[in-house]
Structure 1
Amino acid sequence: MLVTRHVLAAPSPYATPYYIVRGTNPGPVMMITSGVHGNETASMAAAQKLADDCASGRRVIHSGTLIIVPRVNQQAYAKKIRGKPDLNRTFPRRKSGKSKHPLAAAVFKLAREHQPDWWLDLHEANGLSQLTPRVLGQTLITNPGSSSVPICRRVIERMNRSIPVGKHHFNLKRHELPGSARTAASRLLHAKSITVETCWSLKRAVRIKYQTEIVHHFLREAGMT
């Protein structure tokens, strides 16, 4: 396994590190992004932990290639804000279309270069979806008709078996969000793309734990670990 560190969007005010983890055997490509919104810090910590664990050998990718961008929106992170404009509305909406923000353009250029089979976009949200179905906390979101739907169901089932508090359980949502990384990856790259949403009301350490476990479930589903 080989882990290399690179810088996305350099040189520019949007420069941010990313990591490429190459397994010893051929296999799928998975892209993991986090910090598209600068105030969603637990998801960023989970993504950085994965990169660090791969670099140290604590986590081994046996097959395929893993691309991790732990903190996409450095400027929003510095201010601990969601970001203006909302970066997750600026990704390309059609094949001939362009990203509406240079940072989204840099992220999607990286994706086009590697053609990921999978794209996990890690986020956090308000509310527990078990209590209020219209909120996004504790959900996996994918596009309608995506081949990732049964996989998401399996991951949710495994997660929920390990979570003793029923109101903290995860749910599956299916909807398109034009301009989001998830929908752009699904429409334009034909990737299995999933948004992971933990709930802000939970303790930060718990959110990091859930994000980390979900990513590991998807890595196993992809046959990479």
Structure 2
Amino acid sequence: MLVQQYTLSPNTPYSTLYYMARSARPGPAVMIVAGIHGNETASIQAANKLVRMIGKDQLLIHKGSLMIVPIVNKKAYRQRIRGVPDLNRTFPRKAGQAAKHPLSAALFEAAKRYRPSWYLDLHEANGLSQRNAKVLGQTLITNPGSPAVPAARKVIKTINRSIANHSHYFNLRLHELPGSSRTAAARILGARAVTIETGWSLPFSTRVQYQIDIVRRFLSEAELMKG
């Protein structure tokens, strides 16, 4: 499949690449972002690998379209830091409100133009949620009452069946985070928005594979690709 490359916020210090893949058949629009935090490298690797997989027809888009922004915050990524300020607190909190950072503003304007029905935000976090309910490592997060909840529960059930070590299991968290890209996409765009959090303590290759496997399952739930 042809994957087209574009530039978000061109000719600025925040310039970064994003990619579009479109099926000939009409269908849902799905948006995937990674690298909002520059030190969450497995999620970035997973997003870049997804782009390559689509380009090599290793992941087939059955209908609709897919937008992937693999490294939102390139400056933070180059330094391998979360980012200052934390970009995931600078997105609009309600319709008509401006983002608090040029980069989050550019990303959200792109999202508003694209109008995704699904929005997946790839992240990483401390801990393993199966061992400690207070940590976010190995979780899917969506807003309470979100229409994404049934799909998220189904994805967790399916992915956990494939995980031999029960301490690596994923769990669902229902939590609004005003200022985050996920909550902005849900509140303002009406997207089924989910954050995917792998646990930093796991091997890098394992985290990358979990991210890819979960994204593929959500693409199937969105009917973008066949199950």
Q: Secondary structure at the match of 2:146?
A: coil
Cα distance in structure 1, aligned partners of 2:52 and 2:77:
20
Q: Partner amino acid for 2:91?
A: F
* Equivalent position of 1:81 in the other structure: 81
Q: Partner amino acid for 1:213?
A: D
Give the total of aligned pairs.
225
**TM-score of the pair, normalised by structure 1:** 0.99
* 1:101-149 CA-partner distances (Å, limit 9, x unpaired): 0000010010000100000000000000011101000000000000110
Aligned-pair distance for 1:96? 1.4
Q: Which moved more, 1:50-59 or 1:148-157?
A: 50-59
**TM-score of the pair, normalised by structure 2:** 0.98
Quick check: 1:2–1:23 contact (8 Å CA) kept in 2?
no
Q: Secondary structure at the match of 1:26?
A: coil
Quick check: 1:91–1:108 contact (8 Å CA) kept in 2?
yes
Cα distance in structure 2, aligned partners of 1:2 and 1:99:
32
Cα distance in structure 2, aligned partners of 1:56 and 1:169:
30
1:200 lines up with 2:213 in the alignment:
no
Q: Secondary structure at the match of 1:25?
A: coil
* Equivalent position of 1:47 in the other structure: 47
Cα distance in structure 1, aligned partners of 2:88 and 2:95:
17
Aligned-pair distance for 1:24? 1.9
Following TM superposition, the consecutive aligned residue runs of length 4 or more in structure 1 with deviations greater than 6 angstroms are none
Q: Secondary structure at the match of 1:187?
A: helix
Unpaired stretches in structure 1, ≥5 consecutive residues: none
Unpaired stretches in structure 2, ≥5 consecutive residues: none
Quick check: 1:130–1:171 contact (8 Å CA) kept in 2?
yes
Cα distance in structure 1, aligned partners of 2:210 and 2:178:
26
* Equivalent position of 2:118 in the other structure: 118
Cα distance in structure 2, aligned partners of 1:171 and 1:8:
33
Cα distance in structure 1, aligned partners of 2:196 and 2:103:
21
Q: Secondary structure at the match of 2:27?
A: strand
* Equivalent position of 1:166 in the other structure: 166
Cα distance in structure 1, aligned partners of 2:161 and 2:59:
23
